[in-house]
């Protein structure tokens, strides 16, 4: 048996090395452990409304102590904030050499403390406690549905900027970011909420497991977007000249099975005037072109949009008749459009973008002014009266992360549901390469699913240059965009079949997109490049469907 000895020693040495290299794969920097063993156990303070309404305490549990935050305030949010001496600067710079935010994770133990469904915000701040005046203020939000203690680990790349879009471009400098804020956002239901947490730590990993989009995987040329999507439509925004262009129409019909008119079915495109008898002058040239194209090629049509504050002919804006006359014109208009495309258009965005940004209030518009706060319901009713079968959608942007707007939208949606006037909700996916995060997409999507409505991820485009910081499409942004597309498709595909409707891309080629002209920065937001070449984002779309 002696001959085994050198082998055993060698094995032991190898095992030791394996242990060492395993140990080096992850380094934990404890920020707080309320047992008192952490770096700075008592340096958390309440902030904002929590100070006057809530209770913050370190409480004993089986593990010694944890931190508890009780929210019982009259407004919507409260935070506790680690103080300035608990900083990520505790991580020695040399340890972060060659690391990016992809390597760094925030890990903590968390319990909802008795209120399942509590929305929790974790914010990384640099600067004073106040949320919005900081240089860097990145937020991760999730809903804690179970009250079990659990350890969660969030990649810093998953944090998105929550308040000021001008900060989207800032990367988290892990030597610079200073504090951790943990807070409760009372979205609905009872104001009394509770969060308990412990063992807050930053974890730096040497290797990051590849999740999501894999740039090295190839996509067979025979694959198409529509074939990958088994139980929903893959839509594309089109316009009249492009459906008549063979280069475009070949890709439209090969890759997609649904179309939306980017502009041709808007009020400004169709509604040309009112004669002295009160008859509407309607021009169907462009809308018919698109519907005929769809019919000829067996494509679904999602109608966009009957009422939108950005597409109103001047004679409607300046209409001098009575409010009753105004309302009757709108009713006639909706009735005429829906009736013309009965059995041809499967679904309509009835009212588009009715809620004000960062608010739950209706957006000021001529419709609100002339028809009153019930105007949305009235428009849905006119559409329903014209066609009992057509699917009716409410469509808006930023609903994934603007929680005030989300609240306002779902008040409208719930009211429409109570009157049996709505079939689905469109989340316009005009998003950025690094925002919003997957969790936010999932949480917001669940709000539609739980109401048993159809989900439309409408108007997908992913900005890669939201601040104009880059002059050319870098490999890094290319991959980041692909990863974001992967997440969007992954989240959509995970919706139960009965709630799926369509995922619609807002244009074909990068140089066709509304983004560059609107924002004034060169951007590459779509799935195809300017030469009709498939981008990584295209491959990511298919990969997410094959998952
Ligand atoms: O067709 C005219 C052209 O003749 C003229 O020379 C040119 C000069 O500006 O304008 C052209 O019209 C433009 C039209 O797009 C077609 O390119 C309009 O100015 C321009 O305002 C219009 O922008 C559209 C925008 O909605 C406003 O209707 C974008 O293409 C379209 O992508 C965008 O889509 C909206 C959704 O409907 C709702 N959600 C937001 C989304 C992005 O803003």
**pLDDT tens per residue, range 338-352:** 999 999 999 999 999
- Ligand 1 pocket: which of 241, 399, 514 to mutate (most atoms <8 Å of CB)? 514
Estimate to the nearest angstrom the gap between the alpha carbon of 249 and the chain centroid. 29
pLDDT at 158: 73
Interval between CA 524 and ligand 1 midpoint (Å): 17
pLDDT at 194: 59
Q: Does residue 41 or residue 470 have the better pLDDT?
A: 470
* Average pLDDT, integer, range 82-94: 41
Interval between CA 263 and ligand 1 midpoint (Å): 7
Q: What are phi and psi of 123, to 5 degrees?
A: -125, 135
Burial-class residue 238 by CB neighbours within 10 Å (0-12, 13-18, 19+).
buried
pLDDT band at 467 (very low <50, low <70, confident <90, very high): confident
- Cis, bond preceding 390 (omega within 30 deg of 0): no
Q: Whose CA is nearest to atom 43 of ligand 1?
A: 514
Q: Does residue 30 or residue 485 have the better pLDDT?
A: 485
- Asked whether 522 and 471 are in contact (CB, 8 A), the reply is yes
* Average pLDDT, integer, range 251-260: 98
Which atom of ligand 1 sits closest to the CA of residue 352? 38
Interval between CA 110 and ligand 1 midpoint (Å): 47
* Average pLDDT, integer, range 125-138: 52
Q: Edge-to-edge strands of the sheet including 160-161?
A: 44-47, 77-82, 179-185, 118-126, 136-144, 160-161
Fold of 9-205: Jelly Rolls (2.60.120)
Q: What residues flank ligand 1, with Cβ below 6 Å?
A: 262-263, 266, 310-311, 352, 428, 459, 514
Percent with pLDDT over 90 in the chain = 55
Which atom of ligand 1 sits closest to the CA of residue 263? 28
Place of tokens 């808006």: 396
Interval between CA 514 and ligand 1 midpoint (Å): 7
Place of tokens 């009020």: 267
* Residues identified as active-site: 353, 459
pLDDT at 402: 85
Which atom of ligand 1 sits closest to the CA of residue 268? 28
Kindly tell me if the per-residue pLDDT of 68 is higher than 70: no
Same fold, 9-205 and 227-546: no
Which atom of ligand 1 sits closest to the CA of residue 304? 37
pLDDT band at 318 (very low <50, low <70, confident <90, very high): very high
Kindly tell me if the per-residue pLDDT of 392 is higher than 70: yes
pLDDT band at 41 (very low <50, low <70, confident <90, very high): very low
Q: Whose CA is nearest to atom 41 of ligand 1?
A: 459
Q: What are phi and psi of 139, to 5 degrees?
A: -125, 145
Interval between CA 254 and ligand 1 midpoint (Å): 25
Which atom of ligand 1 sits closest to the CA of residue 513? 32
Q: Whose CA is nearest to atom 34 of ligand 1?
A: 262
Q: Whose CA is nearest to atom 28 of ligand 1?
A: 263
Distances (CA, A) of 481 to 303, 349, 423, 465: 28, 27, 31, 10
Q: Whose CA is nearest to atom 30 of ligand 1?
A: 514
User: Which of these, 96, 82, 214, 203, lies nearest to 154 by C-alpha position?
Assistant: 203
Interval between CA 348 and ligand 1 midpoint (Å): 19
Domain regions of the chain by residue span = 9-205, 227-546
pLDDT band at 58 (very low <50, low <70, confident <90, very high): very low
User: 7-16, 96-105, 506-515: which range is least confident on average?
Assistant: 7-16
Beta bridge partners of 251: none
Q: Whose CA is nearest to atom 1 of ligand 1?
A: 263
- Ligand 1 pocket: which of 239, 241, 263 to mutate (most atoms <8 Å of CB)? 263
Q: Whose CA is nearest to atom 9 of ligand 1?
A: 517
Which atom of ligand 1 sits closest to the CA of residue 507? 32
Kindly tell me if the per-residue pLDDT of 105 is higher than 80: yes
Q: Whose CA is nearest to atom 20 of ligand 1?
A: 514
Interval between CA 518 and ligand 1 midpoint (Å): 9
Contacts of 15 (CB under 8 A, 6+ apart): none
CATH superfamily of 227-546: Glycosidases (3.20.20.80)
pLDDT at 182: 67
Interval between CA 237 and ligand 1 midpoint (Å): 12
* Average pLDDT, integer, range 248-262: 98
Query: What's the chain's average pLDDT?
Result: 81
* Average pLDDT, integer, range 213-220: 87
Q: Does residue 438 or residue 270 have the better pLDDT?
A: 270
Kindly tell me if the per-residue pLDDT of 286 is higher than 70: yes
């Amino acid at each position: 048996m002696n001959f085994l000895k050198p082998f055993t020693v060698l094995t032991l040495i190898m095992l030791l090395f394996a242990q060492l290299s395993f140990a080096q794969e992850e380094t934990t920097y404890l920020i707080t452990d309320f047992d008192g063993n952490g770096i700075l156990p008592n340096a958390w303070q309440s902030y904002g409304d929590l100070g006057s309404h809530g209770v913050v305490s370190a409480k004993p549990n089986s593990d010694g102590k944890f931190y508890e935050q009780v929210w019982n305030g009259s407004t919507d949010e409260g935070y506790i904030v680690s103080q300035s001496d608990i900083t990520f600067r505790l991580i020695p710079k040399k340890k972060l050499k060659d690391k990016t935010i992809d390597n760094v994770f925030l890990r903590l133990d968390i319990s909802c403390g008795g209120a399942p469904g509590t929305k929790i915000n974790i914010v990384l701040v640099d600067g004073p406690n106040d949320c919005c005046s900081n240089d860097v203020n990145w937020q991760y939000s999730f809903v804690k549905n179970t009250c079990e203690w659990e350890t969660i680990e969030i990649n810093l790349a998953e944090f998105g900027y929550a308040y000021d879009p001008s900060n989207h471009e800032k990367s988290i400098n892990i030597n610079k970011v200073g504090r951790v804020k943990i807070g409760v956002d009372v979205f609905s239901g009872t104001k009394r909420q509770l969060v308990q947490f412990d063992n807050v730590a930053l974890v730096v990993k040497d290797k990051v497991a590849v999740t999501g989009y894999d740039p090295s995987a190839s996509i067979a040329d025979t694959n198409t977007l529509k074939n990958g999507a088994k139980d929903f439509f893959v839509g594309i925004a089109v316009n009249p000249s492009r459906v008549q262009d063979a280069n475009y129409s070949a890709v439209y019909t090969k890759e997609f099975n649904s179309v939306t008119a980017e502009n041709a079915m808007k009020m400004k495109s169709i509604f040309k005037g009112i004669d002295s008898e009160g008859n509407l002058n309607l021009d169907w040239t462009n809308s018919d072109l698109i519907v005929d194209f769809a019919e000829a090629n067996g494509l679904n049509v999602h109608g966009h949009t009957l009422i939108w504050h950005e597409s109103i002919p001047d004679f409607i804006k300046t209409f001098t008749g009575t409010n009753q006359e105004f309302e009757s014109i709108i009713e006639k208009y909706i009735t005429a459009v829906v009736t013309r495309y009965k059995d041809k258009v499967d679904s309509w965005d009835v009212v588009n973008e009715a809620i004000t940004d960062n608010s739950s209030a209706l957006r000021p518009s001529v419709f609100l002014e002339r028809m009153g706060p019930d105007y949305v319901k009235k428009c849905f009713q006119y559409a329903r009266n014209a066609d009992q079968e057509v699917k009716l959608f409410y469509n808006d942007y930023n609903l994934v992360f603007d929680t005030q707007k989300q609240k306002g939208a779902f008040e409208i949606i719930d009211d429409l549901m109570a009157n049996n006037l709505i079939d689905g909700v469109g989340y316009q996916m005009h998003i950025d390469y690094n925002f919003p995060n997957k969790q936010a997409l999932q949480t917001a999507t669940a709000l539609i699913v739980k109401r048993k409505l159809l989900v439309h991820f409408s108007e997908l485009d992913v900005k890669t240059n939201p601040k104009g910081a880059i002059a050319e499409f870098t490999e890094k942004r290319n991959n980041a965009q692909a990863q974001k597309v992967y997440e969007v498709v992954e989240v959509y595909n995970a919706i139960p079949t009965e709630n799926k409707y369509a995922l619609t891309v807002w244009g074909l080629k990068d140089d066709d997109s509304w983004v560059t002209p609107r924002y004034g920065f060169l951007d590459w937001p779509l799935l195809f490049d300017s030469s009709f070449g498939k981008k990584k984002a295209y491959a990511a779309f298919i990969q997410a469907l094959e998952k």
